[in-house]
Amino acid sequence: MSPLLELQDITVSFDGFKALNSLNFSIAAGEIRMVIGPNGAGKSTMCDTIIGKVRPQHGKVLFEGREIQKLSEHKIVGLGIGRKFQAPGVLEALTVKENLQIAVRRNKQWYSSLFGRSATHEADDIEQVLNQVGLLEKMDSNASQLSHGEKQWLEIAMVLVQKPKLLLLDEPTAGMTAQETAQTATLLQSLAGEHSVLVIDHDMSFVELLAAPVTVLHMGTLFKQGSLQEIRDDSSVQEIYLGRAKQEGEHARA
Amino acid sequence: MLLKRILIGVAFILLACVPLVFSSYNVGLMGQFLALALVAMSISISWGIGGMLSLGQGLFFGLGGYALAMHLKLVATPKGELPDFMFYNGLEHMPWWWEPFTNPGFAMCAVVILPTLFAAFLGMVVFKRRITGVYVSLITQALVLAFVTLLNGAQPYTSGTNGITDYHTFLGIDLRTPEFRNQLYFATLVLVVLCYLGAKAFLTSHFGKVLLAIRDNENRVRFLGYDTSDYKIVAFAFSGMLAGISGALYALHKGTISPQMIDTSHSILFVVWVALAGRQSLGGAILGAVLVNFLQDKISTLFPEGWLYVMGGLFVLVAVYMPKGIIGTLEPLLSKVFKPKLSPRVELQKEQA
């Protein structure tokens, strides 16, 4: 079966620094994948490249077999890729419900927004997703009044409600309590099969809860790939994390 | 919300009563201020809601104003003759692009379409390139400067620094009679109310929510699948259209339009009115324009030198102590005062406690 998303030989450099260096990566339809790696490994840049925020100097991004690395961002999103950013990016001036109304809208052209009506299923979709993330009661609160964890969930809900084929979640559990993290893991697991989910996270307890195949990035390339157990037992993976830690330790002392 | 609607309704009714109370001179003045309220509203839309601060709104205001003034001037010119300033500047034939303005319908369409198209074009150049923030302000300011220079420089075609003056009839009605002043006042008020309702509908649509979201977090909206630059272009064009209508009404009230009325300092004044009253509220923009101009008229008759100091002082005070403007600061206070009385649930909770 051909993968849903495939990165072929992707290179992205910022002023000579190669954030991604001939990266090859693929994810199948319905799969959940964890991406980990030390700071600066290129995890977020990988998401940015997929969604069109960063353009690769070299290589191809294939989504359902179609090259998308030159499409504009909103078209890439329209193909069925949703992205949650690292810092919660909810729209604070609007209510929870309005945030989702903006996300759920099928036709996102300006004239449809100005003259068109919302589709009838949209309200149901919003209610369903609010139920999933447990924000149903806060539907009419202002997004700015939510706690940090709730904002994270709202943003996940905004991605979910678009029903993307592929979800890119950048540190979805940052700032969440242990209980919230566990709930998030359950939520993401329930998505498998229907959606593909690519999760970046540092929190090892979350990685364990999710129990998904793991890809390790290092220096902008694919370093290792395998089950959680394999990765955990791999001495070279420990080394890049520890080596990094050692270096940082020395740095701190200096 | 209900309270706000009532207040706005009362304000419009009060405005409608102006001709019953005020002298004909003051009615004329209020009409002018109402015309200017539209340009203030246009800034509230592009800046307050859309986050695009135009320091060159005078450009669109001027396009609308000149489009109508050209027609009025042609009407005031005897058949077969050239408008006086063309004659004085040695032109022998009417420029071809003046000809169609003989038709009032064409001129009125131009009032709406010219500024809209120009704003849309400018928006395309600026927003498709993802130029944002202070650069938008600088570009618009530079453009209004260029426009004023062009108007001044092309004297045979535009009457230069004098502007277009000396016109007295519109659609066959004499502009100088008191009855017409009242009629024009009401027509202006009706237009302002219509534009207000139109803008309100514009902003409460899904489009308006997206625009607000773009102001606060454009990236997030873009990655929700919206082509954000399209939204900004449309909002900017809508804002340009309102400014153009405002300019045309102003030219009609004032009896003249000249480069001084649209230059950079005036364009900034438009923004100051809006900042004073509260940039995020359409009603506030109307109030700001009418109130500041009213004060200006009264204060500068008493102390001719003093007005600029009063204005500057007011602006500093508001900028420091009320960053959201007068309305933007009062509104939450008002709703706090009135909410407990309007919401029985809160009362109930209080009783139980």
Q: Are B43 and B271 in contact (CB under 8 A)?
A: yes
% residues pLDDT > 90 (chain B): 58
Q: Which residues have C-beta within 8 Å of that of residue B287, sequence separation ≥ 6? A: B11, B277, B327
Nearest CA in chain A to B49: A93
pLDDT tens, position by position, A55-66:
999 999 999 999
pLDDT at B346 over 50: no
Which residues from A are below 8 Å from B213, CB to CB?
A: 91, 93-94, 102
Task: Return the beta strands (E) in chain A as ranges.
Answer: 5-14, 17-27, 32-36, 58-63, 66-67, 81-84, 166-170, 196-200, 214-218, 221-226
For residue A104, the one-letter residue type is: V
pLDDT at B348 over 50: no
C-beta atoms of A78 and B225 within 8 A: yes
Residue B114: the pLDDT is 97
pLDDT at B345 over 70: no
Average pLDDT in the B317-335 region? 83
pLDDT at B353 over 50: no
Confidence of residue B351 (pLDDT cuts 50, 70, 90): very low
Residue B65: the pLDDT is 96
**SS3 at position B23:** coil
C-beta atoms of B207 and A113 within 8 A: yes
pLDDT tens, position by position, A139-162:
999 999 998 888 989 999 999 999
Structure tokens that stand for B255 in this block: 């009896």
- Higher per-residue pLDDT: A250 or A79: A79
Average pLDDT in the B54-75 region? 95
CA distance from start to end of chain B: 27
Average pLDDT in the A213-225 region? 91
% residues pLDDT > 90 (chain A): 47
Confidence of residue B181 (pLDDT cuts 50, 70, 90): confident
Q: Are B243 and B266 in contact (CB under 8 A)?
A: no
Nearest CA in chain A to B214: A91
The answer to whether B349 faces chain A, any CB pair under 8 Å, is no
Mean pLDDT of chain A: 88
ipTM of the complex: 0.87
Which residues from A are below 8 Å from B225, CB to CB?
A: 74, 77-78, 108, 162
Average pLDDT in the B239-247 region? 97
Q: Which residues have C-beta within 8 Å of that of residue A85, sequence separation ≥ 6? A: A155, A170, B219, B220, B223
Rounded-to-integer distance, Cα A9 and Cα A7, Å: 7
Q: Of A138-142, B42-46, B77-81, B271-275, give the lowest mean pLDDT range.
A: B77-81
Average pLDDT in the B158-175 region? 87
Q: What is the DSSP track for B130-155?
A: T--THHHHHHHHHHHHHHHHHHHH-H
pLDDT at A251 over 80: no
Confidence of residue A244 (pLDDT cuts 50, 70, 90): low
Residue B72: the pLDDT is 94
Residues in chain B: 353
Which of A54, A75, A113 would you mutate first to test chain B, the one with the most B CBs within 10 A? A113
Residue B347: the pLDDT is 42
Rounded-to-integer distance, Cα B296 and Cα B32, Å: 13
Q: Are A56 and A10 in contact (CB under 8 A)?
A: yes
Name the minimum distance, in Å, from the CA of A245 to any CA of chain B.
Answer: 33
Q: Are B277 and B287 in contact (CB under 8 A)?
A: yes
Nearest CB to A94: which of B212, B224, B226?
A: B212
The answer to whether B223 faces chain A, any CB pair under 8 Å, is yes
Of the CA atoms within 13 Å of residue A233, those in its CB half-sphere come to: 5
Nearest CA in chain B to A100: B224
Q: Of A124-128, A235-239, B276-280, B343-347, give the lowest mean pLDDT range.
A: B343-347
C-beta atoms of B206 and A105 within 8 A: yes
Nearest CB to B213: which of A51, A91, A109?
A: A91
Return the C-alpha torsion angle B282, B283, B284, B285, nearest 10: 50
Long-range contacts of A139-143 (CB under 8 A, 24+ apart): A139/A95, A139/A96, A139/A97, A140/A95, A140/A96, A140/A97, A141/A95, A141/A96, A142/A92, A142/A93, A142/A94, A142/A95, A142/A96, A143/A90, A143/A91, A143/A92, A143/A93, A143/A94, A143/A95, A143/A96, A143/A99
Beta bridge partners of B173: B170
Rounded-to-integer distance, Cα A9 and Cα A24, Å: 5
Q: Of A7-16, A240-249, B36-45, B295-304, give the lowest mean pLDDT range.
A: A240-249
Q: Are A212 and A34 in contact (CB under 8 A)?
A: yes
Average pLDDT in the A203-225 region? 89
Rounded-to-integer distance, Cα A247 and Cα A239, Å: 11
Structure tokens that stand for B299 in this block: 């204060």
pLDDT at B342 over 70: no
pLDDT tens, position by position, B188-234:
999 999 999 999 999 999 999 999 999 999 999 999 999 999 999 99
Rounded-to-integer distance, Cα B143 and Cα B121, Å: 13
C-beta atoms of B213 and A113 within 8 A: no
Nearest CA in chain B to A78: B225
C-beta atoms of B206 and A94 within 8 A: no
Question: Tokens 């104003």 appear where?
Answer: B65
Name the minimum distance, in Å, from the CA of A114 to any CA of chain B.
Answer: 5
What chain B holds in terms of domains, given with CATH numbers, is 2-92+99-352 (1.10.3470)
- The burial class, CB within 10 Å (0-12 / 13-18 / 19+), for B320 is exposed
**SS3 at position B25:** helix
Which residues from B are below 8 Å from A74, CB to CB?
A: 222, 225-228
CATH number for region A31-53+72-253:
3.40.50.300
pLDDT tens, position by position, B247-273:
999 999 999 999 999 999 999 999 999
C-beta atoms of A92 and B216 within 8 A: yes
pTM for the predicted model, two decimal places: 0.89
pLDDT tens, position by position, A178-210:
888 898 899 888 888 889 999 998 778 888 888
The answer to whether B216 faces chain A, any CB pair under 8 Å, is yes
C-beta atoms of B227 and A72 within 8 A: yes
Q: Are A49 and A12 in contact (CB under 8 A)?
A: yes
